[in-house]
C-alpha cells in the first residue's frame, strides 16, 4: 500500500507519524508492505496545504493508494467550514489519481477536550460524504482518559502530542489504513503495558470510526 501523509506538526514535530507507522507495519505478522511519504508544513491549515502546491504535486504523481490530510487544531484557528471545502478539493484530486482519502482528526491543545469531538464530527461527516475514511486520534485520547485519566498525551509545550500521544494517533491511523489490529505490534520504546493499553484503545476507536462513517 502506498500512502501519502499531508499535514502539519500533528504529523511530524515532537513525534513522527511516518516513522511510527513504518515501525508498526514492520512488526506485523505478516509484515505490512507500506510505502510511506509525507508533505508537512508546520502550522499549516488545510487551506494552506492546498495553496502551497507541494501536496497537489505529490497527489498528482498518481502513486498513492491512500492520502491522509487534516485541518489544523481548532483552538489554533482550524474550523469545519474550511475542512469541508478543502477536504472536498483534496478528495477530488485523490480520486482522480486513484487514491482514497483518510481524514485525520487529531487531539487539540491541553484543556480543550471538547474540541476533539467537534473536529472528529467534522472529519467523519467529510469522510462519509466523500466515501473516504476517518481516523479519530483525538477521540481515542478521550477514550484512553476515561480509563487512565492521568495519562499525559501532551509534550511540554502542552499543544503538541507527547510520544504517548503520537503513538496512539499512529495506532489509530494504522488500523484505518490496513484494517488490521495494532494489538501486539512494536511498542516503539514505550513501556509494554502502556503500549498494549494504547493499542487496544486504538482498535476500539477503529470500530467506532467505521460505524461513524455510515451515519
**Ranges of each domain in the chain:** 2-212
Residues (pLDDT < 50) of the chain are none
Q: How much is the pLDDT for 213?
A: 86
Residue with cell 496545504: 49
Q: How much is the pLDDT for 32?
A: 87
pTM given for the model = 0.97
User: What secondary structure letter does DSSP report for 76?
Assistant: G
Tell me the HSE value of 76 on the side-chain side, using a 13 A CA sphere.
Answer: 19
Q: Compute how many other C-beta atoms are within 10 angstroms of the C-beta atom of residue 149.
A: 7
Q: How much is the pLDDT for 27?
A: 96
Which residues, 6+ apart, have CB-to-CB distance to 96 below 8 Å?
Answer: none
Domain 2-212 has CATH 3.40.50.280: no
Helix, strand, coil proportions of the chain in percent (round to 5)?
50, 15, 35
- Tell me if 14 sits within 8 A of 161, measured CB to CB: yes
- Tell me if 68 sits within 8 A of 4, measured CB to CB: yes
Respond yes or no on whether the N-terminal peptide bond of residue 30 is cis (omega within 30° of 0). yes
CA angle 162, 64, 202 (to 5 degrees): 35
Which residues, 6+ apart, have CB-to-CB distance to 212 below 8 Å?
Answer: 120, 124, 127, 128, 134, 136
Q: In the beta sheet, which residues pair with residue 4?
A: 37, 67
Amino acid at each position: 500500500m502506498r500512502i501519502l501523509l499531508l499535514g502539519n506538526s500533528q504529523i511530524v514535530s515532537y513525534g513522527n507519524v511516518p516513522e511510527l507507522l513504518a515501525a508498526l507495519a514492520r512488526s506485523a505478522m505478516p509484515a505490512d508492505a507500506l510505502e510511506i511519504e509525507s508533505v508537512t508544513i508546520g502550522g499549516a491549515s488545510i487551506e494552506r496545504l492546498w495553496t502551497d502546491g507541494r501536496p497537489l504535486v505529490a497527489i498528482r504523481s498518481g502513486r498513492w493508494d491512500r492520502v491522509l490530510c487534516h485541518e489544523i487544531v481548532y483552538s489554533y484557528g482550524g474550523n469545519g467550514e474550511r475542512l469541508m471545502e478543502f477536504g472536498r478539493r483534496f478528495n477530488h484530486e485523490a480520486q482522480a489519481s486513484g487514491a482514497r482519502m483518510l481524514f485525520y482528526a487529531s487531539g487539540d491543545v491541553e484543556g480543550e477536550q471538547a474540541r476533539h469531538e467537534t473536529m472528529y464530527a467534522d472529519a467523519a461527516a467529510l469522510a462519509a460524504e466523500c466515501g473516504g475514511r476517518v481516523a479519530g486520534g483525538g477521540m481515542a485520547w478521550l477514550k484512553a482518559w476515561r480509563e487512565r485519566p492521568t495519562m499525559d498525551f501532551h509534550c511540554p509545550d502542552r499543544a503538541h502530542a507527547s510520544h504517548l500521544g503520537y503513538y496512539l494517533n499512529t495506532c489509530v491511523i494504522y488500523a484505518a489504513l490496513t484494517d488490521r489490529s495494532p494489538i501486539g505490534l512494536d511498542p516503539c520504546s514505550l513501556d509494554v503495558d502502556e503500549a498494549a493499553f494504547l493499542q487496544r484503545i486504538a482498535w476500539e476507536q477503529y470500530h467506532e470510526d467505521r460505524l461513524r462513517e455510515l451515519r
